[in-house]
Amino acid sequence: MIPFNKPYLTGKEAHYIYQAVFTGKISGNGVFTKKCHSFFEQHYGFNKCLLTTSCTDALEMAAILIDTQPGDEIIMPSYTFVSTANAFVLRGAKIIFCDSMENHPNIDAEKIEALITPKTKAIVPVHYAGFACDMDKIMGMAEKYNLFVVEDAAQAVDNYYIGKDGTKRALGSIGHLGAFSFHETKNIISGEGGMLVVNDRQFEQRAEIIWEKGTNRSAFFRGETDKYGWVDVGSSFLPSEVIAAFLWAQLENLEDIQKKRIKIWQTYYERLKDFAVANEIALPVKPHYSTNNAHMFYLVCKDVEQRSKLIAYLKSKDILSVFHYLSLHSSPYYKNKHDGRSLSQSDRYTDTLVRLPFYYELTDTDMQTIINEIKQSLA
């Protein structure tokens, strides 16, 4: 069987976990947490990083930091994972869903401004498949209307936005806050895990307090206060050193992992492009303002019937492919709260997008088998 995903181990994970345990401090914010924070801050120019137990937690921290209140409106794509919305719904916000672009699942930046009202608090762009949203346009609107921008960069580690002046900026470093995932399906993994990036310095101190269950514990251990206590809201967002140690082994091999994933992505693209055209299937589009971190490879079928046939056929050949998000605006939980606007592109991706097997150890032979069977499925 060719699985959809297979977590990649570099070989150092267990060794570093042993080291973390041996230090006698495994509750978090120890040696390996600090190593990971420094790596991201130095490698990508992030202002301040805080590892979290998941990207979901990072997004929930962001919702708290921007002081999300009941009745606030948060603009985001409907074609995203539920955590993007849940983080703000938990604070009482109303989600205003925006449609995807015609040629890409990312939020259509051209449609955002019409959704802004006096109640709008933030825009949450999601960098789908790691590809950048139009951040110049989004940040311009945020400045114009005094809004926060929280980048959901769950899939976007090691990818960059190319500005109008040609300058490259790491995704997650552009908005006021950014959230990353290290779930086992991501490029860099720790099983479960995530990270909040604090780009706006006004949030630095409070982010650390929220991260430490609402206490000023970190400041205490730095000797900045003679005692610590409960000073704000917060929760148990800080992961253990075991998670950080696992992640550090991955970060040491980031260049190798990314090189292999890019090769897999390019192989899929080159070997499927002619077939895709002949069968009215769209391949991933890389926006001109984005680099490619090879997070996933997907096909956009011409209709739901073609996708269902493809997935079923591949499964019969022991190849696991999957569809992705169900549009949140039409979900059982939120459909009665949605304002009724048609989000046709989001619904189209719900019906037609299929993700192909993608992981570090995917061999060329495996890929050729997958590609051959895809072509056979529609013969």
Query: Helices 241-251 and 13-22: crossing angle, nearest 10°?
Result: 140
pLDDT tens digits for range 308-358? 999 999 999 999 999 989 999 999 999 999 999 999 999 999 999 999 999
Q: List, in order of start, the domains of the chain with CATH numbers.
A: 13-251 (3.40.640.10), 254-377 (3.90.1150.10)
Predicted local confidence at residue 19, as pLDDT: 96
Predicted local confidence at residue 222, as pLDDT: 73
Angstrom CA distances, 258 to 63, 188, 249, 264, stand at 31, 9, 14, 10
| Separation CA 194–CA 103 (nearest Å) | 29
Q: What is the dihedral of CA 51, 56, 58, 61, to 10 degrees?
A: -140
* Number of Cα atoms under 13 Å in the Cβ half of residue 243: 24
User: Once rounded to an integer, what is the mean pLDDT over residues 69-96?
Assistant: 98
Angstrom CA distances, 262 to 44, 62, 229, stand at 19, 31, 47
pLDDT tens digits for range 321-332? 999 899 999 999
Of 117, 173, 178, nearest in space to 152 by CA: 178
User: Once rounded to an integer, what is the mean pLDDT over residues 257-276?
Assistant: 98
pLDDT tens digits for range 13-25? 999 999 999 988 8
| Separation CA 311–CA 319 (nearest Å) | 9
pLDDT at residue 98 tops 80 = yes
pTM, full prediction: 0.96
> What are the tokens at 39?
């790596």
pLDDT tens digits for range 166-177? 999 999 999 999
Angstrom CA distances, 40 to 190, 338, 345, stand at 15, 37, 34
Strand partners, 170: 160
